[in-house]
């Protein structure tokens, strides 16, 4: 017996058969439509980048544990991109002289991370990235939150199905040092602890805090501070709040777009101000769906020019899970809308010419590759989801006509060849 290669894809990656691909294409199309309505322009970049840009800017977890790296024949260390933000920062910095800031850009790259595959996490995914570069105004935060709500609403999601929870790292830094008494040298480690706050029990958090170097008293003060919720804002210095874009949003008419939450941190190293995450509120899928934040100088790795930005990345896996949980996932499209069927093999060429006419009219049209009996082709068209068929018979064809049949009602009518497209379109 021959030894065949496995048919399963590499662990953590996915095959997409036509029905699944149809759903994804529809979902992705909605995403593009929404962000382009806000004036965002699409860009793309290489899937291979220098490993250094991720090691410098993406944070320890991605750089140390999740990068797919390789060394090319020239000895250069490269990585499959795990995210797009460092790449777009490089592109913005490299073209800053010709851009009219602020710019609104979006992309939808294929990204790779060496994750432990589980619900919501795979090793290859597609991520919608929406960013504003070149402005530090709070109006950028407002627009980003508006885009998020528009994206969710495009699929029929209502505000009770999800929540946009936000924090500001400058507010958090003040809360940790001024209220919780965390030493400045422990801030980075405590950020990571806060990021895990809702995932672990109190004993585990206390043990992690002790490992960081916090005393029991400091941990207790930390827990008390984080448990204050929105009341935390009242305890922070006025100058810290006045400098926060998020506080400006919360003080404005746009406050209903977002909820303040001191537990939102985001693990990526480049965030410096506003950070936010979108959560599914369903008990069946109670998790973070996607998030983002503000970076004051991400492009600083590539240029001395300071270019602030804000944006988010929405992965396809968690989005599909959300839509599935709430019954919002679109159905696959049919294989085609109309089939053109020749009654005899001699009419195959005639059927192809009719199909060409229908395609020119914008109709998704199929015709048989091999001649089979009319009944079998009608059954095939029905199973493919077609809603109409055009039957080409010899007598009709000689008279310049075809028969148009509805697969829903089984009613059919003979029409002139020139009227076939309009007749089919009326059935669809």
Q: 42: which 2 tokens?
A: 């699409």
Which of the listed residues 325, 358, 379 is the one where a domain comes to its end? 325
User: Residues 28, 160: one domain?
Assistant: yes
Q: Give me the number of domains the chain comprises.
A: 2
User: Residues 344, 321: one domain?
Assistant: no
Does 270 belong to an annotated binding site? Answer: yes
Residue 6 falls inside a structural domain: no
Q: Find the helix or strand (DSSP H, E) in which 392 lies.
A: strand 388-392
Distance between start and end Cα atoms, the chain: 51
User: Residues 300, 406: one domain?
Assistant: no
User: Residues 144, 183: one domain?
Assistant: yes
Which of the listed residues 301, 325, 349 is the one where a domain comes to its end? 325
User: Residues 105, 248: one domain?
Assistant: yes
Dump pLDDT digits (tens) for 185-234. 888 899 989 988 988 899 999 999 899 988 999 999 999 999 999 999 99
User: Residues 308, 352: one domain?
Assistant: no
Residues 6+ apart with CB under 8 A from 380: 339, 372
Q: State the number of CA atoms in the 13 A half-sphere of 106 facing the CB.
A: 23
For 287, the 3-state DSSP assignment is coil
Q: What letter does residue 62 receive in the DSSP assignment?
A: I
Q: Are 356 and 392 in contact (CB under 8 A)?
A: no
Dump pLDDT digits (tens) for 129-150. 999 999 999 999 999 999 999 9
For 160, the 3-state DSSP assignment is helix
Q: Are β-strands 309-315 and 288-295 bridged in parallel, bridged antiparallel, or unpaired?
A: antiparallel
**Full DSSP string of 114-131:** ----BTTB-SEEEEEEEE
Residue 209 falls inside a structural domain: yes
Residue 122 falls inside a structural domain: yes
Residue 118 falls inside a structural domain: yes
CATH code for the domain of 73: 3.30.930.10
Beta bridge partners of 159: none
Does 131 belong to an annotated binding site? Answer: yes
Q: Are 373 and 348 in contact (CB under 8 A)?
A: no
User: Residues 362, 275: one domain?
Assistant: no
List of the chain residues with pLDDT < 50: none
User: Can you list the pairs that 151-160 forms with residues at least 24 positions away whose Cβ atoms lie under 8 Å?
Assistant: 151/30, 151/31, 151/34, 151/35, 151/314, 152/278, 154/30, 154/31, 154/33, 154/34, 155/27, 155/30, 155/323, 155/328, 156/328, 157/322, 157/326, 157/328, 160/281
Residue 4 falls inside a structural domain: no
Dump pLDDT digits (tens) for 9-58. 999 999 999 999 999 999 999 999 999 999 999 999 999 999 988 887 66
Residue 330 falls inside a structural domain: no
Does 295 belong to an annotated binding site? Answer: no
For 341, the 3-state DSSP assignment is strand
Residue 7 falls inside a structural domain: no
Which of the listed residues 299, 325, 351 is the one where a domain comes to its end? 325
Q: Are 140 and 74 in contact (CB under 8 A)?
A: no
User: Residues 365, 321: one domain?
Assistant: no
Residue among 339, 198, 353, 223 at smallest CA distance from 277: 198
- Residue that is written with structure tokens 């309505």 in the block: 37
User: Residues 320, 342: one domain?
Assistant: no
CATH code for the domain of 422: 3.40.50.800
Does 66 belong to an annotated binding site? Answer: no
For 34, the 3-state DSSP assignment is helix
Residue 73 falls inside a structural domain: yes
Return the pLDDT at 59: 61
Return the pLDDT at 58: 60
Q: How long is the chain?
A: 428
Does 124 belong to an annotated binding site? Answer: no
**Predicted TM-score (pTM) above 0.85:** yes
How far apart (Å, rounded) are the C-alpha atoms in residues 296 and 290?
Answer: 20
Bond preceding residue 102 cis, omega within 30 of 0 = yes
Return the pLDDT at 269: 67
Domain range spanning residue 134?
18-325
User: Residues 113, 253: one domain?
Assistant: yes
User: Residues 275, 368: one domain?
Assistant: no
User: Residues 307, 403: one domain?
Assistant: no
């Amino acid at each position: 017996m021959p030894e065949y290669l496995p048919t399963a894809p590499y662990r953590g990656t996915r095959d997409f058969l036509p029905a699944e691909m149809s759903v994804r294409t529809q979902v992705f199309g909605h995403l593009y439509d929404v962000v382009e309505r806000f004036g965002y322009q699409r860009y793309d970049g290489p899937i291979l980048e220098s490993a250094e840009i991720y090691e410098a800017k993406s944070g320890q977890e991605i750089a140390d544990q999740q990068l797919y790296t390789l060394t090319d024949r020239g000895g250069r260390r490269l990585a499959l991109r795990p995210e797009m933000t460092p790449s777009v920062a490089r592109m913005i910095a490299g073209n800053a002289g010709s851009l009219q800031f602020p710019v609104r850009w979006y992309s939808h790259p294929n990204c790779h991370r060496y994750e432990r595959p589980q619900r919501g996490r795979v090793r290859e995914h597609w991520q919608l990235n929406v960013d504003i570069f070149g402005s530090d105004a709070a109006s950028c935060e407002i627009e980003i939150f508006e885009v998020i709500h528009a994206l969710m609403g495009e699929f029929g999601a209502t505000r009770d199905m999800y929540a946009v929870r936000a924090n500001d790292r400058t507010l958090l830094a003040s809360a940790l040092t001024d209220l919780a008494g965390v030493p400045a040298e422990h801030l980075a480690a405590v950020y990571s602890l806060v990021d895990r706050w809702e995932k672990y029990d109190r004993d585990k958090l206390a043990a992690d805090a002790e490992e960081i170097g916090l005393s029991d008293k400091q941990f207790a003060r930390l827990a008390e501070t984080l448990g204050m919720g929105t009341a935390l804002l009242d305890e922070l210095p006025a100058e810290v709040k006045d400098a926060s874009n998020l506080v400006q949003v919360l003080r404005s008419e746009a406050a209903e777009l977002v909820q303040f939450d001191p537990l939102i941190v985001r693990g990526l190293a480049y965030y410096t101000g506003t950070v936010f995450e979108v959560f599914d509120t369903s008990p069946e899928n109670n998790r973070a769906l996607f998030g983002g934040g503000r970076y004051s100088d991400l492009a600083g790795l590539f240029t001395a020019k300071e270019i602030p930005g804000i944006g988010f990345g929405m992965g396809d896996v968690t989005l599909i899970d959300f839509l599935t949980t709430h019954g919002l996932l679109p159905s696959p499209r049919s294989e085609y809308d109309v089939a053109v069927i020749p009654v005899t093999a001699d009419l195959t060429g005639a059927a192809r010419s009719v199909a060409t006419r229908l395609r020119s009219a914008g109709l998704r049209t199929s015709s048989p590759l091999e001649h089979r009996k009319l009944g079998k082709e009608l059954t095939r068209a029905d199973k493919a989801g077609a809603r109409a068929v055009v039957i080409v018979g010899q007598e009709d064809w000689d008279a310049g006509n075809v028969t148009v049949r509805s697969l829903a009602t089984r009613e059919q009518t003979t029409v002139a060849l020139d009227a076939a497209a309009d007749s089919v379109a009326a059935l669809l």
